[in-house]
A = this chain, B = another copy of it.
Amino acid sequence: MNDRKNIRFSNLSINTMDTDKKKMVRSRLVMGAVVVGAVCLGIGIGIGYAARGSSSDQHINGNAPKHEAQTQDPVDVLLSSLDSNNIKENLRRYTSRPRMSGTVGGDEIIDIIADEWRNSGLDMVRVTPYDVLMSYPNRTNPNTVELMSNNNEVVFQAATYEEPLDAEGNNSEIVPPFNAFAVAGVAEGDLVYVNYGRIEDFVFLRDNQSISVEGKIVIARYGKIFRGDKVKIAQQYNATGIIMYTDPADFNMGNSTYPNSWWLPGSGVQRGTTGPDGDMLTMFYPAKDYTYRIPKSESWIADSTIPAQPIGYGDAKHFLSAMKGNQVPVSWRGGLPITYKFGPGFTNNTIKARLTVNNLEEVKTVRNVIGYIRGEVEPDRYIMLGNHHDSWVFGAIDPLSGSAVLTEIIRVLGNMLKQGLRPRRTIVFGSWGAEEHGLIGSTEWVEEYMKVLYERTVAYLNVDYACDYPYVLVAGTSPLLQDSLYQSAKKVPNPEKNTQFNTLYDVWKDRLPNTDKTEPSVYYSLGSGSDMATFYQRAGVPSVDMWFTYDENKWDILSYPTYHSAYETFEMFTRFIDPNFNFTLAMAQMWSIMAWDLANEELLPFDPTRYATAIKDFVASLKKDFSEVWRQQNVNIQAMDSAVRNLTKSTNAFKAKIQSLVDTSPLSIRMLNDKMIQFERAFIDPEGLPDRRIYKHVMFAPSLYDSYSDNSFPGVVDTMHDIQINNRTDKWGLLKQQVSVATYTIQSAANTLDDIGL
């Protein structure tokens, strides 16, 4: 997972936000639930394909031949066959050495997975190679973060590796901490502490503290926004380099640390990319052998000029405690036992900081494993399950806990296939490479198969890591798939046998309820951070991203503590994350049942009214924030209201229609399904977002800023940010244009549900 943490916590963690934001996020998490919750759950079941017991019927009213093996309910087969021991052994094999993309271990796991999938009896398994620009540290010339004396002697040097804390810690294949696509370079001089390195942090420094970072190295704590944006923003403010670290306030709430608990020790360092999504030399197109590469000098990386390097909080303390300047305000204070100061510079005037980055970019072959089970009735409709297989180090949590689950699902589905249980639609499996470097494997594959994926994919279900803590399910979803998520969770047993709840749904609703406690909370901003991004953002495929996590009300942290460190080992997973693999097994059940039902219910269990409600709430939220200033600027919000009303009307009419369906011929059902598939595609604008044409989903995309809690209407919200935070009053035209694009898109979505729609 390359950056989901930031997306996730801007949505879910209400504790780390200002009061105003809390309300907005909370209301957003539950949207749609109150109005349509109970009713819509029944649609798929009532009218849909009778998945339980007749998986190969061509038609609900037809007389298709029955397979003998099908006396058993496929969902029961899944529940009884998926085995936590297999998942555990999968994880043990997969985590036996570091699996960074482009390394020996990274290549090996591809072959292992491909072999295992082939042996499971899938109809097709293929490895798809792409030659892409990758980034690695220079192993003979390490990156360093140092304090220097005035005669250029090293006073202190941050560790260039993570202290070995378990049996696996001494593996020479462990990549030293680095930030992928941080450029090589040396920066030397005073330090300035910039909190999370957001635009508002730099604005605060400038306006409230009169501190310029020009010519300085900045030190920022990880979190809140994408680390690549921290680098970009620091560069914009003319810093010469950036050091990022995991502050204990954000990643460590324990009294002990690994190997005595799951908490992050001071030596742990978060690796991570700072680059764009997909191969930067072949933007928009697959990085095939025949594809033209732009010169590196014209690519994304040519615009990145300052070095960046991560360190642990044990080392960060040495730098931060030596700084001078005013004390920072409370909201800037981290969890180290020091007095946080802004800088610039050090109490001891004779020392300075030096940051040396020697990363190398090189073209490497990145590979995905793709497999499928051909659909019996509608082979040209795909349900896709995806997970990545590359990890920064051992990846026992991220992502191999997910990979271990996926291979177990494939084993069981392969067996079901041998027994004649072939799904109605095609089920596709993707094991992605180079996700950590920027969703590269999945992006290139989606680009290669864009045409058919756009036309035919019913849903993409992403599980990056299956579990980072055995407590509660978290799911990001397209509103269209929200009901399907709930429906599946009701079929999964509660992974904790000793509680009052029978199903995963019940415990989910209890531990992460929406405001009125009628349903579990989900979030809608599938913007970035894992492989669903390209499916959702570019191909308009309704997607889900889910995992088990800790109690965010209990621990106010920005991700699981050892995220992207060398301590994510099999030992750690089995001791602290999911020792009995109960939650990992629950994920296997949840993921496979959801996929099976989507692949088999004749009428897709999508509910477009969820989308209408979501958009209605987003528009209300926009108006709450901006109506006054928009009225002054004559922004046309009435038209957007009108489009929202049309969408509500159209989705309600569609829902009423499928609830009292008269014509249940296979052709008519297909036409209804087509409308629902097209509905999500209507939100894709080929012209893309302003200055970010790669992002094409008008409703949900990663916001460039953390200041607004809502990631919906990114073109509108980001432009408002530019106007208000950056004082770009020249952008009112663009704002109005983006509001009209949103209006147009909402209206287009409404049209797709009509029989004719013209």
The minimal Cβ–Cβ distance linking A453 to chain B, given in whole angstroms, is 8
Chain B residues whose CB sits within 8 angstroms of the CB of A643 once the complex forms: 290
The reply on A5 being an interface residue by CB < 8 A is no
The reply on A757 being an interface residue by CB < 8 A is yes
CA distance A737 to B293 in the complex (A): 8
Query: Are the CB atoms of B374 and A756 closer together than 8 Å?
Result: yes
CA distance A555 to B294 in the complex (A): 49
The reply on A748 being an interface residue by CB < 8 A is yes
Query: Are the CB atoms of B292 and A752 closer together than 8 Å?
Result: no
The reply on A377 being an interface residue by CB < 8 A is yes
Chain B residues whose CB sits within 8 angstroms of the CB of A456 once the complex forms: 757
Query: Are the CB atoms of A636 and B752 closer together than 8 Å?
Result: no
A737 (CB) vs chain B CBs: closest residue: B292
Query: Are the CB atoms of A452 and B667 closer together than 8 Å?
Result: no
Query: Are the CB atoms of B758 and A292 closer together than 8 Å?
Result: no
The reply on A733 being an interface residue by CB < 8 A is yes
**Which of under 10, 10 to 19, 20 to 34, or 35 or more describes the interface residues of A?**
35 or more
CA distance A41 to B41 in the complex (A): 49
The minimal Cβ–Cβ distance linking A686 to chain B, given in whole angstroms, is 4
Known interface pairs A682-B451, A744-B288; A380-B733 also in contact (CB < 8 Å) = no
CA distance A666 to B696 in the complex (A): 34
Contact with B along A705-744 (1 / 0, CB 8 A): 0000000000000000000000000000100110111011
CA distance A295 to B737 in the complex (A): 12
Query: Are the CB atoms of B289 and A639 closer together than 8 Å?
Result: yes
Known interface pairs A290-B740, A292-B740, A740-B291; A752-B670 also in contact (CB < 8 Å) = no
Known interface pairs A681-B455, A752-B455; A667-B378 also in contact (CB < 8 Å) = yes
Query: Are the CB atoms of A452 and B758 closer together than 8 Å?
Result: yes
A455 (CB) vs chain B CBs: closest residue: B678
Partner of A678, one of B379, B452, B671, B755: B452
The minimal Cβ–Cβ distance linking A79 to chain B, given in whole angstroms, is 28
CA distance A470 to B451 in the complex (A): 43
Chain B residues whose CB sits within 8 angstroms of the CB of A443 once the complex forms: none
Chain B residues whose CB sits within 8 angstroms of the CB of A756 once the complex forms: 124, 372, 374, 379-380, 382, 426, 452
Chain B residues whose CB sits within 8 angstroms of the CB of A744 once the complex forms: 285-286, 288, 290-291, 448
Partner of A380, one of B291, B674, B743: B674
Chain B residues whose CB sits within 8 angstroms of the CB of A380 once the complex forms: 671, 674-675, 755-757
The minimal Cβ–Cβ distance linking A693 to chain B, given in whole angstroms, is 8
The reply on A462 being an interface residue by CB < 8 A is no
The reply on A156 being an interface residue by CB < 8 A is no
The reply on A404 being an interface residue by CB < 8 A is no
Contact with B along A680-707 (1 / 0, CB 8 A): 0110001100000100100000000000
The reply on A619 being an interface residue by CB < 8 A is no
How many copies of this chain sit in the oligomeric assembly? Answer: 2
CA distance A145 to B665 in the complex (A): 68
The reply on A370 being an interface residue by CB < 8 A is yes
CB neighbors of B among A424-462 (8 A)? 426, 428, 448-453, 455-456
CB neighbors of B among A68-114 (8 A)? none
Partner of A667, one of B294, B667, B736, B757: B667
Query: Are the CB atoms of A757 and B449 closer together than 8 Å?
Result: yes
The reply on A525 being an interface residue by CB < 8 A is no
Query: Are the CB atoms of A667 and B752 closer together than 8 Å?
Result: no
The minimal Cβ–Cβ distance linking A437 to chain B, given in whole angstroms, is 22
Contact with B along A118-148 (1 / 0, CB 8 A): 0000001000000000000000000000000
The minimal Cβ–Cβ distance linking A501 to chain B, given in whole angstroms, is 39
The reply on A161 being an interface residue by CB < 8 A is no
A638 (CB) vs chain B CBs: closest residue: B290
A457 (CB) vs chain B CBs: closest residue: B758
CB neighbors of B among A354-388 (8 A)? 370, 372, 374, 377-380, 382
CA distance A220 to B740 in the complex (A): 42
Chain B residues whose CB sits within 8 angstroms of the CB of A693 once the complex forms: 687
CA distance A291 to B737 in the complex (A): 7
CB neighbors of B among A198-217 (8 A)? none
A452 (CB) vs chain B CBs: closest residue: B757
CA distance A666 to B62 in the complex (A): 13
The reply on A252 being an interface residue by CB < 8 A is no
The minimal Cβ–Cβ distance linking A443 to chain B, given in whole angstroms, is 15
Query: Are the CB atoms of A748 and B674 closer together than 8 Å?
Result: no
The minimal Cβ–Cβ distance linking A3 to chain B, given in whole angstroms, is 25
The reply on A751 being an interface residue by CB < 8 A is yes
The minimal Cβ–Cβ distance linking A653 to chain B, given in whole angstroms, is 15
Partner of A758, one of B428, B739, B758: B428
A672 (CB) vs chain B CBs: closest residue: B380
Query: Are the CB atoms of A377 and B733 closer together than 8 Å?
Result: no
The reply on A284 being an interface residue by CB < 8 A is yes
The minimal Cβ–Cβ distance linking A666 to chain B, given in whole angstroms, is 4
Known interface pairs A374-B756, A744-B288, A758-B372; A674-B736 also in contact (CB < 8 Å) = no
Q: Which 8 pairs show the lowest CB-CB distances between chains A and B?
A: A290-B639, A686-B686, A292-B737, A452-B757, A666-B667, A292-B736, A451-B748, A292-B740
7 A–B contacts, CB within 8 A, in A order:
A289-B639, A382-B758, A449-B757, A451-B749, A452-B757, A453-B758, A687-B693
Binding site for B on A (CB under 8 A): 58-59, 124, 284-286, 288-292, 294-295, 370, 372, 374, 377-380, 382, 426, 428, 448-453, 455-456, 636, 639-640, 642-643, 665-667, 670-671, 674-675, 678, 681-682, 686-687, 693, 696, 733, 736-737, 739-741, 743-744, 748-749, 751-752, 754-758
User: 16 additional contacts, CB 8 Å, given A124-B756, A291-B744, A292-B737?
Assistant: A285-B744, A288-B639, A288-B744, A290-B740, A292-B733, A294-B737, A377-B667, A379-B756, A380-B757, A449-B748, A451-B678, A451-B752, A455-B674, A455-B678, A666-B666, A686-B686
